[in-house]
Structure 1
Amino acid sequence: MNPSHSAPPLLAACLRLLAALLLACILSPAVHAQASEEQAQTVIHMLDYVSVDYPQAVKDGKVADESEYQEQREFVARSLALLAQLPAKPEQPALLAKGRELLARVDAKAAGPEVAAQARTVMADLVRIYKLTTAPRQAPDLRRAQAIFQAQCTACHGAEGRGDGPAAKGMEPAPSNFHDAARMEQRSLYGLYNTITLGVAGTPMRAFTELPEADRWALAFLAGTLRTPQEALRQGEALWREGKGKEQLGTLRALVTQAPRDVRQQGGPALDTVRAWLTAHPEALQAARPAPLDFTRAKLRESLAAYQRGDAAGARQLAISAYLEGFELIEASLDNIDAPLRTETEREMMALRSAIDTGQPAAAVAAQVDRIESLLARAGERLSGDALSTEAAFVSSLLILLREGLEAILVLAAIIAFVVKTGRRDALPYIHAGWIGAVLLGLATWVVASYLWEITGANRELTEGISALLAAAMLLYVGFWLHKRSYAQAWQAFIREHVTAALGKQTLWAMAGISFLAVYRELFEIVLFYQTLWAQAGPEGHAPVLAGIAAAMALLGALAWVILKYSARLPIGPFFTVTSALLVVMAVVFVGNGVAALQEAGILQSTPAAFVSVPILGIHPNAQGLAAQALVLVLIAVTVLASRRGGVRSQAH
C-alpha cells in the first residue's frame, strides 16, 4: 500500500460520481428553470396585453381595428406555442386546452370581456402550475423609483406620466398615459412589471433588463400610483388602519396580481381605495405580515381546499410552504420550551404531505389538518406564555448557537488537531481561510436576508441540504485519508517518504472546503433562526438574546480548546483512528440531515418508517434518509476492510 495516495480508489470514484451528480442537480436545473421562467413570463406579458387591448379591437362580434385584432391573435398564438415548449407537468395538457380555447374565441371574434376573462384564467393557471415569481421579494422603494423614472422614463412618458414627454411626439403607438383610468383599471402591477422587464415588441417601449429586479418592481408600483389623488390615499390609509383589506390584499403577491377593476368587483370602491394606498405604501404590508403560526394555519387551510378541489400538486406545495415559511421559523424557540411538541408537530406535518402524495381521501387529509391545527394551538399557548420572557430569550439564544455550532466545532477541532499534531502548521491557513470565508459569507447572508430580499424556506432547505451532502463527501475523503495512516508502519513510511507530514494540495483544499461548508451551513440556519428570535423577543428581550450568543460562543470556544488539548496526548495511531472515526460519523450525520433538508424543501419524497428519531445524529424516521445513511455505512465498511487488507499485506512485506 502506498501511503501517499490521497484516498482509496473506490472512495475516489464514489466521490467523483457524487460531485458530478451534485453539479448536475445544481447547475442543469437552474439553467433550464431560468429559461423556462423567461418563456412563461413572456406568455404572461402577452396575455396581459390581450386581456386589456382585445376588448378595444373587437366590439359586438366585429373587428373595430384590424391591425390591433391581428396583433392580439398573434399574441395568443405565440403564447400557445410557448406553453407547449414549457417543461412537462401533469397539469400542462389542461393548460394547453385552455390556451387553444382562448385562440378559438379570438378566431370567433368573441366578446371582449369573455376573451379577457379566459386570458386571465390561463395566466393564473400558468403562475400556479409553474410557480412563477409574481411578487417583489421586499416592499419596493418608491422614492428610488422617482429618481429612476425621472432619469429613464420622462422623455417618453412625461414628468407626470401622461405620455406627453418631449420624445413622445410622433411615436406610434403613443407612450402609455398612466392617468388613463379606463386602461389602468385593467392593468395589474404584475402586468406593469412585465412590461418594464420585457418591453413591448413593435413599439418604442424597450425592455429595461439592465435595471435590477427591485427597481423594475418599484417603477411598476410608481406607475400604479400616478393617477391616485391625495384625498383617496388618505381615505385608503384610514380604511387599512381599521382593518379593511387585510384578508384580500394582505400580501405583496395579492396586491400585485389583482387589477384595480378586479379589486373593485371583489370589495367595492372602499377596497379599491385601500389598494391604491397600499400601492403607494407597500411597506405597510411588510409590517403587517402574519405571525409564523398564523401563516401556517392559513396555508394548511389553503392546502386542504386545493386538495378538495382535486389539485393535489397545489395542495402539496401549500403544505410545504406551511412548514417552511411558517412553523419552521419558530421551531428553535419551541424546541427550547417543549421539544416533544415540536417533534410531534413536525412529524404530523410530514404525514400530511405523505397523505397528499399517496392520494388519501379528502376526509383523511382534513382530519390530518385538524390534528396539526390542534398541535399548533398548543404550540401557540406554550410560546405565548414563555417565549418573550427574559429567561426564555436567553436560553433560546444560547441553545440555538450551541446546538448549531457543535457540529462545526467538532469537525474544525479534529482537523486543526491533526495538522498541529503532525507538525504541519502551514496547513492551518487553508483551514482558517475556509471558516473565515464562511463567517464573512454568513454576515453577507444576514445583510441580504434582512435588507435586500427574503430567503424563502425552500431556498434555505435546499442550501442546507446540498451543502450538507457536499460536506459529507469531503468528510469521507479526509476521514479515509486519516484512517490509512492509523497503522504505525504506514505512518512511518509516510514520514520517511515526505520527511515531514506533507499534505497534498488536493487534501489541503478538501480540508479548506470542509472548514467552509461545516461553518457556513450552520451559520446560514443560525442567521434565519436569530431573525425570528429577535422579532419574538421584542426590544426588551434583545439584551438577553445577545447575552445568549456571547455565552454560547464562550462555551463553543472552551469545547474546541478541550478537544485540541486532549487530542494532543493521544499516540499517533489511536489519534488518527479516533479522528477518522469522528469525521466519518459526522459524514453520516450530514447525509441524514442533508436528505431531511431536501425532503423539507419538497425536492425529495419522504416515506415514514418505523424507526427512532435522533435529529442530533441525523437520524430521521423516513425510508429515504435511512437508506442514504445505510448506503454511506456500507461504503465506509467496504473501504475500511479494503484498507485493512492493504495494511496487512504491506506489513507482511
Structure 2
Amino acid sequence: MFLIIINLSEPLKILNIVDYIFSDYEKAINDSSEYKEMLEFAKNLIELSDSSILTYSKNVYELIKNKENSKKVKSELSKIREIILNNPKLDIYPKNPISLKSGREVYLYNCAVCHGDKGDGNGPAGKTLNPKPTNFLERYDLSPLRIWTILNVGLVNMPSFNNLSDDEKWNVAFYVLSLKYQNTQKKKVNNKFDLKLISKLSDENLKEMGYKNDEIAYIRTNIENLIEKKDHFYEILGSLDLIKNLYQKEEYEKAYSLSVDLYFNDFEPIEKNLFAKDFEFTSKLEQKFTQLRGIVKQKNKEKEVENLILNIKNDLEKARAILEGKAFSGNWALFNSFTIIFREGLEVAILFGIILSIVKLSENALAITISYLGIISAIFLGIITWIISQFIISISTLQREMLEGIVSLLAAIVLFQVSYWLISKSENKIWIGYIKEKLKSSLNKSNLFFIFSLSFLAGYREAFETVLFYQAMIINTPKTDLNYVIFGFLLGLITIIIISYG
C-alpha cells in the first residue's frame, strides 16, 4: 500500500505515518516491496521528528530494520502518537456535533461506489481496483481520526477528499465505523464521551478500555447521543490549567503560545455577546487575558500566574452566568447601549481634539478642513460598515483582530510623522512664529494626506468596534426592546457632543 502525504502540517504527517505503520507493519514483514516501503516511511518519520519524539522514531526504525515483532513496534508508535495528540497546538477533533445521518449521505455519494453501500469493499468501481478498497467490516484498528486523515491525504487508488468540509469528513469517519454494527446485537451504554477523546479511539482501543462488543456496537451507532455537552468555557478552563502546568515546568514559550490560542480560539467567539450584555465587566476580563499573555513570558512569577488564572476562572463563571441569563431587559439594553457609544465616542473625541488643536497651530484653514473631512469620512465609512456588518462579523476572530491591529499601526505611523512635522519645529516662540508664517504657504499634498489619514484612522477604528458591539447587542435584545438600544445610543451621542463642545 502506498501512502501519499500532501498539504498537511508536520504533526499530521507524523500521525499519518504512525497510523500507517501501526496497521500494516505485521503484513509488510512478509512482503519485500511493502517492507521496503515501511523502512522508507520509518526514515521519513525520523526526518519529521522534533526532540520530543526523535528517540522513539529512531527506535521504530531500528525495530523495523531488524524485523522485530509488531508488539514492540506498536509500543514505540503508541508513545509517539500520545505525544503528538497531547500537543495543545494540534487541535484535531470535530468542532461541531456529529451527525451519522449526514455522514451516511456523504458516504453513499462519495465512497460507496468503491467501498460498497455496506462498507464491505465490494462497490461497483472497487471490483477492478488493486489493491481492493478497504473492507470496513473487518477493520477494528481504525479510529475516526485515522479515517479523517486518510480523507485529507488519500491512499493508493483513492483520492483525497478536500472538496468535503471538515464537518463532512468527521461525519463520514464516524459513520464508517458504525457500518459493521448496523445489524448486530447492542447493549446500552450510559457513559458520556469527550468528543476529543472518542475521535481518537478505535474499536480495539474501546475494547482495551473494558467495553464488550455489544457495547461498542451501541457506542458506534448512537455516538450522537453519547457526547458530553461542552461549551467554550469548558475549553477555556481546561486551557488555563494547561497554561499553569506549562509555566510550572518552565516551558514559558509554550505557555505563552497557548495563551494566545486560548484568547483567539475560545474567548473571542463569546466576547462580543458578552460585551453586549456587560460592557464594563467584559472589558476588565479582556484586560486580564492580556495581562496573562504578558506575565507567562516572564520567569519566576509562578504565584502571580496562579493568582491571575484563579481570578480569570472566577470571572469566567460570572461570564457564563451572564450569557446563560435571560435576554436584556429594556433598562439594561439602554444602559449598555449608552456605555458603548459613550466610551468609543469619548476616545474619538479626545484623540480628534488633540489632532485638531495641533493642526490649528498652523492657522491653515485648508488643513483644518482636511482634519474635519477625515473624521467625517470615518463616520461615513462606519455607517457603510454597519450596512455590511453581517459579512464583517462572519470573518474569523483572528482576521478581525488583525484588521484592528493594522489600523492601529497605521495610526501610530501617521501620528509620528504628523507630530514630527508639526511639533518638532515649535521649540520656542520664534520657531512658532516662523511655522505660522510658513505653513500658510508651504503645506503640500503629502502633509495634508497625513492629517486626513490620522483623523480618519482615529475615527474608523472605534467605529468598527462600535458596529461589532451593537450587532451583538441587537442579537441579544428582544425586538420589542430595540427602542431602548436606539435611545441609549442617542443619549450617549448627545452626551459626547455636549462634552466635546462644552
The TM-score normalised by the length of structure 1 is 0.57
Q: Which runs of 5+ in 2 are unaligned?
A: 1-5, 360-364, 427-431
CA 311–66 in structure 1, closer or farther in 2 if over 3 Å, else same: farther
Q: Give 1:349 deviation, angstroms.
A: 4.5
The 3-state SS of whatever aligns with 1:289 is coil
Q: Which moved more, 1:313-322 or 1:209-218?
A: 313-322
Aligned partner of 2:36 among 63, 67, 70: 70
Q: Deviations over 1:228-286 (max 9, x none)?
A: 438889945xx3xxxx22xxx334x333233343244336349856753575569x66x
Equivalent residue for 1:116? 74
Residues in 2 aligned to 1:197 and 1:260: alpha-carbon distance in whole angstroms: 22
Residue 205, structure 1, aligned to residue 158, structure 2: yes
Deviation readout 1:93-144 (Å, 9 max, x if unpaired) = 2322221122112222233233234223323434555823412444466655
Contact 1:260 1:275 in 2 (8 A): no
Alpha-carbon spacing, 1:326–1:414, altered in 2? closer, same or farther (3 Å): same
1:444 equivalent to 2:381? Answer no
Distance 1:147 1:521, change over 3 A: same
Q: For 1:512 and 1:276, how far apart are their aligned partners in 2?
A: 57
User: Compared with structure 1, are the counterparts of its residues 556 and 280 closer, same or farther at alpha carbon in structure 2 (3 Å cutoff)?
Assistant: same
Query: What residue in structure 1 maps to residue 437 of structure 2?
Result: 489
Q: How many Å separate the matches in 1 of 2:93 and 2:153?
A: 16
Classify 1:186/1:433 alpha carbon distance in 2 versus 1 (closer, same or farther; 3 Å).
Answer: farther
- Counterparts in 2 of 1:401-480, with a 5 A limit? 402-404=342-344, 406-407=346-347, 422=369, 431=378, 434-436=381-383, 438-439=385-386, 442-447=389-394, 455=397, 464-477=404-417
**Residues 143 and 199 of structure 2 are in contact (CA less than 8 Å); yes or no, is this contact kept in structure 1?**
yes
By how many angstroms is 1:42 displaced? 2.4
Hey, what does 2:3 align to over in structure 1? Answer: none
Write the letter of the residue equivalent to 1:209: N
Q: Which residue of 1 aligns with 2:110?
A: 152
Question: Is contact 2:382–2:467 with CA below 8 Å preserved after alignment?
Answer: no
Tell which deviates more after alignment, 388-397 or 189-198. Answer: 388-397
Letter aligned with residue 46 of structure 2: L
Cα deviation for residue 151 of structure 1 reads 3.7
Asked if 2 retains the 8 angstrom alpha-carbon contact of 1:233 and 1:276, the reply is no
Q: Give 1:81 shift.
A: 2.1
Structure 1 partner of 2:202: 259
Structure 1 residue 477, shift from structure 2 partner: 4.9
AA aligned opposite 1:468: S
CA contact (8 A) 1:189 1:224 kept: yes
Say whether the 8 Å CA contact 1:431–1:512 is kept in structure 2. yes
CA contact (8 A) 1:51 1:117 kept: no
Task: Give the 5 Å matches for 1:196-595.
Answer: 196-200=151-155, 203-229=156-182, 235=188, 239=190, 244-245=191-192, 249-251=193-195, 253-266=196-209, 268-269=211-212, 272=216, 276=220, 279-280=223-224, 288-290=229-231, 292=233, 294-306=234-246, 314-317=254-257, 329=270, 332=275, 336=280, 349=292, 353=296, 357-358=298-299, 364=302, 369=306, 372-373=309-310, 376-377=313-314, 380=317, 384=321, 388=325, 390=329, 395-396=335-336, 398-400=338-340, 402-404=342-344, 406-407=346-347, 422=369, 431=378, 434-436=381-383, 438-439=385-386, 442-447=389-394, 455=397, 464-477=404-417, 488-493=436-441, 516-520=460-464, 523=467, 526=469, 534=476, 542=478, 546=482, 549-558=485-494, 566=501
Shift in Å, 1:369: 3.3
Q: Spell out, residue by residue over 1:149-176, the C-alpha distance to the aligned partner (whole angstroms, 9 max, x if none).
A: 3443332222333322221122111112
**Residues 243 and 255, structure 2, Cα contact 8 Å, conserved in 1:** yes
Distance apart, 1:193 and its partner CA? 1.6
1:643 matched to which residue of 2? none
Report the equivalent of 2:59: 101
How far is 1:197 from its partner? Answer: 1.2
Correspondence for 1:55 among 26, 37, 61: 26
- CA change 1:277–1:409 in 2 (3 A) is farther
Amino acid at match of 1:493: S
Letter in 1 for 2:16: H
**Structure 2 residue aligned with 1:15:** none
Q: Helix, strand or coil: the match of 1:261?
A: helix
**CA–CA distance in 1 between the matches of 2:369 and 2:22?**
72
Identity of aligned residues (%): 18
CA contact (8 A) 1:106 1:115 kept: yes
Does the CA-based 8 Å contact 1:401-1:549 persist in structure 2?
A: no
- Judged with a 3 Å threshold, the aligned counterparts in structure 2 of structure 1 residues 518 and 372 are, in CA distance, closer, same or farther, namely closer
Secondary structure at the aligned position of 1:257 is classed as coil
Unmatched tracts of structure 1, length 5 or more: 1-34, 58-62, 84-91, 450-454, 535-540, 568-653
Aligned to 1:69, the other structure's residue is in SS state: helix
Retained in 1: the 8 A contact 2:256–2:293? no
User: Counterparts of 1:141-180 in structure 2 under 5 Å?
Assistant: 145-180=103-138
1:257 maps to a residue whose letter is K
Change (3 A) 1:310 1:372: closer
**2-structure distance, mates of 1:234, 1:521:** 53
1:43 aligns with 2:14: yes
Q: Distance in 2 between matches of 1:210 and 1:136?
A: 17
Q: Report the CA distance shift for 1:153/1:475 in structure 2 as closer, same or farther (over 3 A).
A: farther
Q: Deviations over 1:321-364 (max 9, x none)?
A: 66666677577567746988x5996588568625xx5256xxx5
User: Relative to structure 1, is the Cα distance of residues 507 and 382 closer, same or farther in structure 2, using a 3 angstrom cutoff?
Assistant: closer
Q: 1:195 offset after TM fit, Å?
A: 0.9
Determine the C-alpha separation between the residues in 1 that align with 2:347 and 2:186. Answer: 53
* Alpha-carbon distance, 1:410 to partner: 6.2
Please tell me the root mean square deviation across aligned C-alpha atoms, in Å: 5.1
The aligned residue for residue 192 of structure 1 is 147
Distance 1:408 1:491 in 2: 26
Please say which of residues 185-194 and 409-418 is displaced more in the overlay: 409-418
Amino acid at match of 2:13: T
Are the structure 2 counterparts of residues 412 and 280 from structure 1 closer, same or farther at C-alpha, using a change threshold of 3 Å? farther
CA distance in 2: counterparts of 1:476 and 1:492, whole angstroms: 22
**When the two structures are superposed, what TM-score results if normalisation uses the length of structure 2?**
0.71
Equivalent pair of 2:115/2:121 in contact (CA under 8 Å): yes
1:318 Cα deviation after fit: 5.0
